[in-house]
Amino acid sequence: MVAAIKIDKRQIQELAKAIEGSRTKVKKELNIAINETQKKVKSSVAKVVTQELSIAQKYVRSALRSKRSTAKTLAASVDLTKTGRLSLHLFTPKPKQNIKGVTYKVSKTKGRKLLPNAFQGPKSTKQAQPGKKPRKTKAYAFTVKPSWGGKVFTREGNAKTPIHRADGPSPWGVYVKSKKDRRLRKEAKAELKKQIQRRIRFQKLKQSGAI
């Protein structure tokens, strides 16, 4: 996903008029407007993903590849790359291990799910409930292995087979599924016009001596 929009030529002419034709100043003002728009676009993309995923925006932003504008290029880009899936331990609330596996939650609109036979660390031996007499049904105590950092793992086969990290969705996949790319492009175009208009107003006020 790459958001790319063009500058309205009429706004460039209006800006040039407000600055009294200085080409260098026009480029400088356009550069400011483009980079302000880029920041808004990055925030909007991250918001689309975190409206669905129960995860901090910083993990979505880490999947964004962006290039800022300069007065020479007058072009900026925002690209949400096709990254891998995010580890379950990054989502909130955190995964929890029980006797059946690990429960987790990745969606803000859906409840917790169970990943059967998954694990976060070693399981202790059986022990009775505190303050109660031992019965046939006893509780299991679970601990998260510190070196795993809260990550969830699964294993296919016996104890000698490799373990695999359990992951949730990827930001790219959620964004594509949202089908909001076209809407965000329209919003980016409107935002760029808004930012350029702000620079025009600023220059007019400056030229009039109001600021």
pLDDT of 189 reads 94
Q: What pLDDT, in 10s, does the model give residues 159-206?
A: 788 999 999 999 999 999 999 999 999 999 999 999 999 999 999 888
Beta strands in 12-82 (DSSP E): 64-67, 77-80
- Percent of the chain beyond pLDDT 90? 64
- Percent of the chain beyond pLDDT 70? 89
Q: What pLDDT, in 10s, does the model give residues 81-113?
A: 888 899 999 999 999 999 899 999 999 999 999
Cα–Cα distance for residue pair 207/179, rounded to 1 Å = 44
> How much is the average pLDDT of 137-154?
80
pLDDT of 128 reads 42
Cα–Cα distance for residue pair 144/150, rounded to 1 Å = 6
- Mean residue pLDDT of the chain comes to 87
Structural domain boundaries of the chain? 9-84+171-208, 87-168
pLDDT of 206 reads 86
pLDDT of 130 reads 53
Amino acid letter, 126: K
Q: 3-state class of 26 per DSSP?
A: helix
**Tokens at 17, concatenated:** 């008029």
